[in-house]
Structure 1
Amino acid sequence: MMAVALVLSAVPLGAETLILGTTQVPRHFNGAIQSGIATMMPTAQIFASPLRYEDDWTPRPYLAQSWEVAEDQLSVTLHLTPDATFHDGMPITSADVAFSIRTIRDNHPFASMLAPVTSVSTPDPLTAIIHLAHPHPALLLAMSPALMPILPEHIYGGPDLADNPANLKPVGSGPFRFVEYRQGDHYRLERNPDFFLPDAPRLDGLIVKIFSDPMTMLLSLESGEIDMILLVSGVHDIQRLQAIPGMQVSDAGHEAIGPLNWIAFNMGKPPFDDVRVRQAIGFGIDKRYILDQMMAGLARDALGPIAPGSPFADAGIEPYTYDPVRAADLLDAAGYPVGADGLRFTARMDFIPGVPEQGRNVAEYMKSQLAPLGIALELRSAPDFPTWAQRIATHDFDITQDNVFNWGDPVIGVHRTYLSSNIREGVIWSNTQRYSDAEVDDLLARAATEPDPEERAALYARFQHIVVEEAPILFINELPLYTAARAEVTGLPQSIWGAISPYLTLDREP
């Protein structure tokens, strides 16, 4: 471990301290007011939440040893684990739960996640009752570690939440305690000896080493300077890791993250205000080639707006198959015949910078595929992510490639893209397509409050079929998310939340 050991020379490593590699740079460690993988990864280690999930979609006790959903679905009662404490030794009480839920509701970017919460009552120190304006079936999943960290009110309370020093020196109750953060280089966590779950965590500590260059990170794993990399999504990177003898490379888990790669249309501008044009592009590209050749079979097909690992994904959706004759007929019917110059129209296509296999390469392939149809795509690169995001958020685009995550329950990560009420100016990952369908609005409103799982699944099935047919978005693939670890690492995070779940079983063979 020479290279990393030199950087961390002042950090005494425990016998079972793992070094993880990441390219994600956390702005801070308070997942109650910040979304994104960079914050969620450490949040799930430093903070505990009411519930947790393993490799299925069934909630399990965590800080809440039990819970009840009221018969009218308008409240959820949590019974907290007795004797659980924060890292500073203070007991965890229902007041901390109430404070945390209010904080997340009022500050977290996932506004729909806790929007129906009206109040949280605390009849005794170990009982918290969450009151709802209407039934909210997404609530239990929203109690996952990465989404609902329970903060100590005595640390995070007060008017300066966004600038609270504890955001960079967090105090939680999770399996690991914060030790230090050297911004842009690494952060270090140590085992919480007073963790309320027996025999967890198994490691003495974690060091998360931050790399600016993904290739340097891969080389560090190959040489043994680091032990594990999470959320590897580059096709060539995955293939390289798979070729290393003894390297564990797995795509198990992460179903709740639900990362989709798609092509979005600006429906506020012609010709993309015509469904026939959008459908024609769907039939005009060979998605099978993208999946089998460009993604090398490492990425799953994305059929619709709900990721394939979700219990609400409808496997019966009829996808767009490569059919250039049908595409040409649709374009003719839409009033875009081939002109004397061989063109029907020209359009500009954007893509997220920094993810060439999902972005630029797909855009270049689409350009070559659509040219014979008479559609000239002009590819526009962006110097950085903020530039791309500003263009899309202000509707300054024709077509764009995008990566958008489901975040477990459709209420949290799916609705935002399709609700007409979420057509906003200047907000990335809202309804930037300017898509509006009254039936979709109604279906999503009903699904958000429907407590019966089968009825809810039926509502989402109808929603998925409408969206695929109307094609405000063409769904390409689920981003591959792989874990790579050296042979001696055991207990890899393979829950539905994967890398953003607590590392309770992660260990190293002696």
Structure 2
Amino acid sequence: PRGDIVLKAFDQYFKGRPKVDKIILRHIADPDVAVAAFDAGDLDMVQIPSPEVLERYLQDPNVEVSMTSGLNLNYIVLNNKMPPFDDIRVRRAICHAIDKEALFATILKGIGVDLTGPVPESANFYESDVTTYPYDPEKAKQLLAVAGYPNGFNTTLYTYVSRISVDVCVAIQDQLKKVGINVDLKVLEISAWADVVVTGTAPMVFMRITRPPDPDEFLTPVVLSTSDPQWNFGHYSNAAVDALVEAGAREVDPEKRSQIYSWVQKIVTWDVPNVWLFSDVVATAYRPYIKGFKEDPFWNTLINEEVYIER
């Protein structure tokens, strides 16, 4: 078992001595146990693990909640080398067949925000002006018919054991069925899931990654062709995207990097190699006597020099 980590205020900190004398970081592996400890008054802060807990704390006058969009991608990898996913019309049809608003309303319930492309909104140089694919099942059927699949097709989607990922994939399975795409959903333990994913032969894979805020941290593994098959499991390849991603990694001027990454996101969302679903919302519950706390998208429960106690 892991012990507590005790942090003490450093008098010579360059921004001035912290306002909190001591912080105890307590590792509790089971999130339900952590929530119970917070409810019992044994913890001053706790990370919120589920929509149900978030909803309860938002209604509790004795609890403060800080939330922000996380630095992560939840998406479905489409195998761009495998029919029918090698046809952009099929990939776009799948996007139009998925009702993300329904996922937010019925499953995620406040712990997910819309993901429009390969860079989450909390990352640096996020571009919002990209091609999106609103829920439109009739358009999905039309695209499938034009692509040569008027009656749809059968395929397989792999995911790992996790309540959110499984619930989301079951909902997507039902939504795709409405446009004629029959999905055989395979739910595997994480190690077995990884064994399948790394082969690069799966038709569809539910994927989640968390990275630091620089866009290169997302783009290099997810869309760079030379990352196939280490991370680019769908075998997406676009020479223009490769050149731009590599240029962005070398560039030091922020304005030039912004332009480069804007183009990358525009091209990738047009090509739609994957189905971009959502980013997790990271949220922390804490007691009202804790002041100055603000959720950080990467570090989550970060106690900085602005936090103080007022009882």
TM-score computed with the length of structure 2 as normaliser: 0.91
Aligned twin of 1:248? 64
Q: How far is 1:455 from its partner? A: 2.7
Whether the aligned pair in 2 keeps the contact of 1:347 and 1:376 (CA below 8 Å) is yes
Aligned twin of 2:155? 347
CA separation of 1:352 and 1:195: change in aligned 2, threshold 3 A: farther
Equivalent-residue separation in structure 2 for 1:233 and 1:453 (angstroms): 35
SS in 2 for 1:349: strand
Tell which deviates more after alignment, 362-371 or 445-454. 445-454
CA separation of 1:200 and 1:412: change in aligned 2, threshold 3 A: farther
CA separation of 1:276 and 1:223: change in aligned 2, threshold 3 A: same
Q: How far is 1:243 from its partner? A: 2.3
Tell which deviates more after alignment, 368-377 or 391-400. 391-400
> Identity, % of aligned pairs?
27
2:176 to 370, 379, 382: 370
Aligned twin of 2:27? 210
1:393 to 192, 198, 207: 198
Equivalent-residue separation in structure 2 for 1:318 and 1:420 (angstroms): 21
Structure 2 counterpart of 1:475, which letter?
W
Structure 2 counterpart of 1:236, which letter?
E
Whether the aligned pair in 2 keeps the contact of 1:416 and 1:431 (CA below 8 Å) is yes
Equivalent-residue separation in structure 2 for 1:298 and 1:323 (angstroms): 24
Whether the aligned pair in 1 keeps the contact of 2:118 and 2:222 (CA below 8 Å) is no
SS in 2 for 1:480: strand
- 1:300 equivalent to 2:141? Answer no
Whether the aligned pair in 2 keeps the contact of 1:312 and 1:461 (CA below 8 Å) is yes
Equivalent-residue separation in structure 2 for 1:371 and 1:488 (angstroms): 50
SS in 1 for 2:154: strand
2:91 to 266, 269, 278: 278
Q: How far is 1:363 from its partner? A: 0.6
- 1:328 equivalent to 2:141? Answer yes
Could you report, residue by residue, the CA deviation over 1:416-439 in whole angstroms, capped at 9, with x for unpaired residues? 111111113xx4xx2111111111
Aligned twin of 2:258? 457
Aligned twin of 2:226? 421
- 1:466-481 map, 5 Å: 466-481=267-282
CA separation of 1:380 and 1:432: change in aligned 2, threshold 3 A: same
Q: How far is 1:294 from its partner? A: 2.7
Q: How far is 1:236 from its partner? A: 1.7
Aligned twin of 1:127? none
Aligned twin of 1:60? none
SS in 1 for 2:26: strand
Aligned twin of 1:234? 50
Equivalent-residue separation in structure 1 for 2:160 and 2:22 (angstroms): 35
Could you report, residue by residue, the CA deviation over 1:439-494 in whole angstroms, capped at 9, with x for unpaired residues? 11011122222333233222212211221121111111111100111122223244
Could you report, residue by residue, the CA deviation over 1:86-124 in whole angstroms, capped at 9, with x for unpaired residues? xxxxxxxxxxxxxxxxxxxxxxxxxxxxxxxxxxxxxxx
Equivalent-residue separation in structure 2 for 1:389 and 1:282 (angstroms): 24
CA separation of 1:198 and 1:408: change in aligned 2, threshold 3 A: closer
Q: Which sections of structure 1, spanning at least 5 residues, go unmatched? A: 1-182, 339-343
Structure 2 counterpart of 1:483, which letter?
T
Aligned twin of 2:239? 438
SS in 1 for 2:4: strand
Equivalent-residue separation in structure 1 for 2:51 and 2:120 (angstroms): 19
Aligned twin of 2:40? 223
Could you report, residue by residue, the CA deviation over 1:42-71 in whole angstroms, capped at 9, with x for unpaired residues? xxxxxxxxxxxxxxxxxxxxxxxxxxxxxx
CA RMSD between the two structures:
2.2
Q: How far is 1:502 from its partner? A: 5.8
Aligned twin of 1:499? 300
Equivalent-residue separation in structure 1 for 2:243 and 2:215 (angstroms): 14
Equivalent-residue separation in structure 2 for 1:486 and 1:502 (angstroms): 14
Aligned twin of 2:129? 316
Higher helix residue share = 2
CA separation of 1:206 and 1:372: change in aligned 2, threshold 3 A: same
CA separation of 1:229 and 1:313: change in aligned 2, threshold 3 A: same
Equivalent-residue separation in structure 1 for 2:45 and 2:208 (angstroms): 24
Q: How far is 1:228 from its partner? A: 0.6
Q: Which structure ranks higher in relative contact order (CA pairs < 8 Å, sequence separation ≥ 6)?
A: 2
Equivalent-residue separation in structure 1 for 2:178 and 2:295 (angstroms): 44
Q: How far is 1:495 from its partner? A: 4.6
Q: Which sections of structure 2, spanning at least 5 residues, go unmatched? A: none
Whether the aligned pair in 1 keeps the contact of 2:223 and 2:232 (CA below 8 Å) is yes
- 1:264 equivalent to 2:77? Answer yes
Whether the aligned pair in 2 keeps the contact of 1:221 and 1:486 (CA below 8 Å) is no
TM-score computed with the length of structure 1 as normaliser: 0.57
Q: How far is 1:283 from its partner? A: 0.7
Equivalent-residue separation in structure 2 for 1:506 and 1:352 (angstroms): 37
Structure 1 counterpart of 2:209, which letter?
V
Structure 2 counterpart of 1:454, which letter?
E
SS in 2 for 1:366: helix
SS in 2 for 1:197: coil
1:411 to 210, 216, 224: 216
